[in-house]
Structure 1
Amino acid sequence: MFKKSVGVWILLSSFFTPVAWSEVAQAKGSVDDSVNNSVANRAVPAGQPLSADTLLDNMKTAFKQLNYDLSYVEIERGRITPMRYSHGLIDGVSVGHLLSLNGNPREYLRRGNITSFFEAEQPGYSLSSTAIPGLLFNLMATELTLDESLYQAIYVGGKSRVTGRLSQVVRVVPNDKYRFGYLIWVDLTTNLPLRIDMIKDSGEVVFQVMAISLYQFPDVTPWLEQLNSVKLPPVLSAIQTQALMPAPTKSEWTAAWLPNGFKQIVSNKHQIAGIDQIIDYMQFSDGLVDISIYVNTNVKAGSLSQGLGVSGQISLQSKITDDIEIVVVGEVPSMTAKKIADSVVRNLDN
């Protein structure tokens, strides 16, 4: 029902595009100048640029508080995925809508701390305290430099243009060699992110978020107000949430080494498509990126590597010893994934 309703509003919004809405906004005054928002228009004394940490804080605040429409592409190894994110404050509540524009439909609507998921042909469902998936939203929800043992932010200096808008650049550097770094372009007018590069030590870009257009509005856009009125699936209970995924179990395997800051968030047994047997699965996160470990104890039944499709920023490392296959997948450098795979051993405590 939601998809049908959303499809109608998306169709309607094609007649009321961000450009058309910006013309309405301009009737009230300049779009950028009409919003006297302390987040978007903070005065900076001449010769005193904001610190990198302050720029990142302002970016996250603007991302959650302003009314805007951001169209962008995700780029990985030549594959381009266009996305559109609309955001506004409705009765003081942050409302965001993300829509994939190519391929299988993916749609997410977040109201406050509740996110509704609509992916491919699966039934829609809602989860509490769960963010919209994707690097852009992970960055907006993560305190990158709160734990100084993980990252530090550096103001690059100067100004750059992205999608025709002036921006300042912040470099986020990991404090170890086991993570990727980031370059973030922050719009000077709105403080919203215009470009995010996930980079190797060498400077090579392995994943990129690039803005195509950005429109800021003085009021919530009509199509977002309409989407906000659509009835969404109820929030799943803990029992219902577990029904969507295999029951948690204590794995027979463990990783003897993980980069600092990674904590286990999932442990279970389940079946991989094309592999006619149950495998051990563990997932770890440092708050920004995830690492998954798969253990296949019967390679003769089929290789896990054949059933796991990865590309771009995601590394995959596989090793087979004594008919036991270990696969590590994650948004980390390949050497990190290999070191984790080499450290996986049987859990003697189990």
Structure 2
Amino acid sequence: MFKKSVGVWILLSSFFTPMVWSAVAPANDNDDNSVAKHNVPAEQQLSADALLDNMKAAFKQLNYDLSYVEIERGRITPMRYSHGLIDGVSVGHLLSLNGNPREYLRRGNITSFFEAEQAGYSLSSTAIPGLLFNLMATELTLDESLYQAIYVGGKSRVTGRLSQVVRVVPNDKYRFGYLIWVDLTTNLPLRIDMIKDSGEVVFQVMAISLYQFPDVTPWLEQLNAVKLPPVLSAMQTQALMPEPTKSEWKAAWIPNGFKLIVSNKHQIAGINQTIDYMQFSDGLVDISIYINTNAKAGSLSQGLGVSGQISLQSKITDDIEIVVVGEVPSMTAKKIADSVVRNLDN
């Protein structure tokens, strides 16, 4: 059943070419739910928090097609995201355009995953993966102890469109900051830079085309009608992941706001060994900690096959290897690695 669904999925994808109905659909002044009508002239400039709120609302409410690239360490990954409201339900589809095919379809709060060489599956209350979608789902400024949003001022052009820029500044040195370009007409995000204190860009999402439509595109309606894999039950979901356990190890230090979301033991295929694993998240980025108690038998740094990550820090002491991976500054990853100790409370 899964293979048949994926076959239809890929077939639909191959037929899709974005139709330029209009570069920007006009806002309906009679529609109280219209996001575009909230645009204001410069003299009535909204606050940075209000701009971010409008951006997130537009991302979930408008009918549009956004093509963009993810840029990291010289590697460019093109993506296309299509969104529309169908019978009042938010429907979004993300497709990778190069390399192994990856597709994700989100209907309401259910996301279906189609990744290379894996049977498709659906999960409830799980977002499409990626910085763009994490950012749209995270209330960055809700906890002011973590981040502050600042309106940069002026106008800037991205992919030929005028935008306003918001800077999201972390309140500590253990996270990256962000620059976000918000389209003046639609309030949709046009560019996102993940930046160091120095201003160096370490990861970037850059729009290359944006089309807003007056109605849901026939493509998205057709895709919405495709039969997708059923939502996995709690038991089936656990089968995809190692059984959660209380770790024999702990991080004595972790940046404020990060919470433990995964703790288990599982095997790393690259070195054919079982390791201790912990994952932390602040809602926007994740930090993963791997502990290998038999480093002589094989190195985690080689076996993990990590790619597309900002930082990787590794240390070996008394044949115990600790590796920290995450979208945080390298000094943060190192400080976490140095703090990992045996969990004497366990």
Same fold (TM > 0.5): yes
1:243 and 1:167 map into 2 onto residues whose CA distance is 45
SS of 1:26's partner is: coil
1:328 and 1:60 map into 2 onto residues whose CA distance is 31
User: In the TM superposition, what is the alpha-carbon distance from 1:43 to its structure 2 partner?
Assistant: 4.6
Is the contact between residue 181 and residue 190 of structure 2 (CA under 8 Å) also seen in structure 1? yes
User: In the TM superposition, what is the alpha-carbon distance from 1:156 to its structure 2 partner?
Assistant: 0.3
SS of 2:100's partner is: coil
Which residues in structure 2 correspond to 1:23-172 (within 5 Å)? 38-44=34-40, 47-172=43-168
User: In the TM superposition, what is the alpha-carbon distance from 1:125 to its structure 2 partner?
Assistant: 0.6
Moved more, 307-316 or 33-42: 33-42
Which residues in structure 2 correspond to 1:333-348 (within 5 Å)? 333-348=329-344
Is the contact between residue 206 and residue 313 of structure 1 (CA under 8 Å) also seen in structure 2? no
SS of 2:111's partner is: strand
Deviations 1:100-119 (A, max 9, x none): 01001100000000000011
Is the contact between residue 105 and residue 120 of structure 1 (CA under 8 Å) also seen in structure 2? yes
Is the contact between residue 68 and residue 214 of structure 1 (CA under 8 Å) also seen in structure 2? yes
SS of 1:251's partner is: coil
Is the contact between residue 255 and residue 340 of structure 1 (CA under 8 Å) also seen in structure 2? yes
Change (3 A) 1:43 1:251: closer
2:267 and 2:181 map into 1 onto residues whose CA distance is 41
SS of 2:25's partner is: helix
User: In the TM superposition, what is the alpha-carbon distance from 1:162 to its structure 2 partner?
Assistant: 0.5
SS of 1:153's partner is: strand
Change (3 A) 1:24 1:261: closer
SS of 1:225's partner is: helix
SS of 2:118's partner is: coil
Change (3 A) 1:137 1:172: same
Q: TM-score, normalised by structure 1?
A: 0.93
Is the contact between residue 313 and residue 337 of structure 2 (CA under 8 Å) also seen in structure 1? yes
Change (3 A) 1:186 1:6: farther
Change (3 A) 1:343 1:25: closer
2:272 and 2:161 map into 1 onto residues whose CA distance is 52
Change (3 A) 1:11 1:235: closer
2:142 and 2:24 map into 1 onto residues whose CA distance is 41
1:173 and 1:181 map into 2 onto residues whose CA distance is 5
Change (3 A) 1:12 1:303: closer
- In structure 1, the partner of 2:7 is 7
User: In the TM superposition, what is the alpha-carbon distance from 1:314 to its structure 2 partner?
Assistant: 1.9
User: In the TM superposition, what is the alpha-carbon distance from 1:5 to its structure 2 partner?
Assistant: 5.2
SS of 1:35's partner is: coil
User: In the TM superposition, what is the alpha-carbon distance from 1:276 to its structure 2 partner?
Assistant: 2.5
SS of 2:38's partner is: coil
Is the contact between residue 276 and residue 301 of structure 1 (CA under 8 Å) also seen in structure 2? no
User: In the TM superposition, what is the alpha-carbon distance from 1:309 to its structure 2 partner?
Assistant: 3.1
Deviations 1:198-227 (A, max 9, x none): 000000000000001000000000010011
1:24 and 1:267 map into 2 onto residues whose CA distance is 46
* Runs (5+) with no aligned partner, structure 2: none
SS of 2:45's partner is: coil
Change (3 A) 1:73 1:281: same
2:164 and 2:3 map into 1 onto residues whose CA distance is 38
Give me the CA root mean square deviation.
Answer: 2.4
Is the contact between residue 299 and residue 324 of structure 1 (CA under 8 Å) also seen in structure 2? yes
SS of 2:40's partner is: coil
Deviations 1:298-335 (A, max 9, x none): 01110000022335552000000000000000000000
Change (3 A) 1:269 1:23: closer
Change (3 A) 1:280 1:269: same
Of 258, 277, 285, the residue aligned with 1:262 is: 258
Deviations 1:131-189 (A, max 9, x none): 00000000000000000010000000000010110000000000000000000000000
Aligned residues: 346
User: In the TM superposition, what is the alpha-carbon distance from 1:19 to its structure 2 partner?
Assistant: 3.3
User: In the TM superposition, what is the alpha-carbon distance from 1:274 to its structure 2 partner?
Assistant: 2.0
2:212 and 2:306 map into 1 onto residues whose CA distance is 35
User: In the TM superposition, what is the alpha-carbon distance from 1:121 to its structure 2 partner?
Assistant: 1.1
Moved more, 273-282 or 164-173: 273-282
Moved more, 12-21 or 175-184: 12-21
SS of 2:26's partner is: helix
User: In the TM superposition, what is the alpha-carbon distance from 1:47 to its structure 2 partner?
Assistant: 1.3
2:307 and 2:149 map into 1 onto residues whose CA distance is 27
User: In the TM superposition, what is the alpha-carbon distance from 1:36 to its structure 2 partner?
Assistant: 8.6
User: In the TM superposition, what is the alpha-carbon distance from 1:42 to its structure 2 partner?
Assistant: 1.3
SS of 1:99's partner is: strand
Is the contact between residue 22 and residue 213 of structure 2 (CA under 8 Å) also seen in structure 1? yes
% identical aligned pairs = 92
Moved more, 271-280 or 36-45: 36-45
1:25 and 1:3 map into 2 onto residues whose CA distance is 37
Is the contact between residue 35 and residue 218 of structure 1 (CA under 8 Å) also seen in structure 2? no
Moved more, 302-311 or 177-186: 302-311
Is the contact between residue 146 and residue 170 of structure 2 (CA under 8 Å) also seen in structure 1? yes
Change (3 A) 1:342 1:105: same
